[in-house]
Amino acid sequence: MARPLNTVPRALLDLLGLKTGGTNPLGLGDELEPTLEIADLYKMSRVEHTGVTSALLQDRGDSAELLVPENEVWFLWALSANAGSSLQAGDTLQISAGIASEGGSVIMATSPKQVLSVDSENPRANTGPITPPLVLVPKDSIFLQVESVIRAVAPSFSGSIRARVSRFGPNTEILSA
């Protein structure tokens, strides 16, 4: 089946008005310019480790938090949480790690529920690499939360959060306007 030689322009050329009545454009003009995104490379060069430890975890729902300070933006690349120190053989524990903001919270990783023995490792919740990284703004937090606990002895145990972040704030160079 034969098609018309001079079809009505559609899509990008039509929207930009660059093809009318069969005339072919010589250039796209100032509306479109090539760009090279280097922000991810810059963010990766600024990765650092940060964390917090709390010794006051006792019951289900208890948590430790790592807050994003005022005037900073964090890019979260990985997250790890663990519980330990005063745990005893026979204790049962499950923890989770996540992020919280004013809009709510999201659990990123949960450890297996385990009964500790003399030679077992303490519960750990890891996210692994987060790609692309999550953007955290002031007042957001990274948290460790106790999901379930059955303790034989000792009133509390410690928990720690470790995160790989890129920090940007008033003391860093501006990425773009």
To the nearest whole number, what is the mean pLDDT of the chain? Answer: 77
User: What are 30-51's pLDDT values in tens digits?
Assistant: 666 667 777 777 777 788 888 8
**Residue 82: in which H helix or E strand, if any?**
strand 73-84
Report the alpha-carbon distance of residue 113 to residue 102 in Å, rounded. Answer: 29
**What pLDDT does residue 60 have?**
85
Q: How many residues does the chain have?
A: 177
User: What are 2-33's pLDDT values in tens digits?
Assistant: 555 555 555 666 666 665 555 655 666 666 66
Residue 162 predicted with pLDDT over 70: yes
Q: Nearest-CA neighbor of 143 among 108, 175, 177, 113? A: 108
Q: CB-based contacts of 24: which residues, under 8 Å, 6+ apart?
A: none
Q: Nearest-CA neighbor of 84 among 159, 151, 161? A: 159
User: What are 112-127's pLDDT values in tens digits?
Assistant: 887 777 667 777 888 8
Of the chain, the percentage scoring pLDDT greater than 70 comes to 71
User: What are 47-94's pLDDT values in tens digits?
Assistant: 888 888 886 888 888 888 999 999 889 999 999 888 876 677 777 888
Domains observed in the chain: 48-168 (2.60.120.380)
> Which pLDDT band, with edges at 50, 70 and 90, does 175 fall under?
very low
**What pLDDT does residue 86 have?**
67
**What pLDDT does residue 2 have?**
55
Exposure string of 61-89, with b = 16+ CB inside 10 Å and e = fewer, is ebbbebebeeebbbbbbbbbbbbbeebee
The answer, yes or no, to whether the previous bond of 155 is cis (omega within 30 of 0) is no
Give the 3-state secondary structure of residue 28.
coil
**What pLDDT does residue 174 have?**
47
**What pLDDT does residue 177 have?**
35
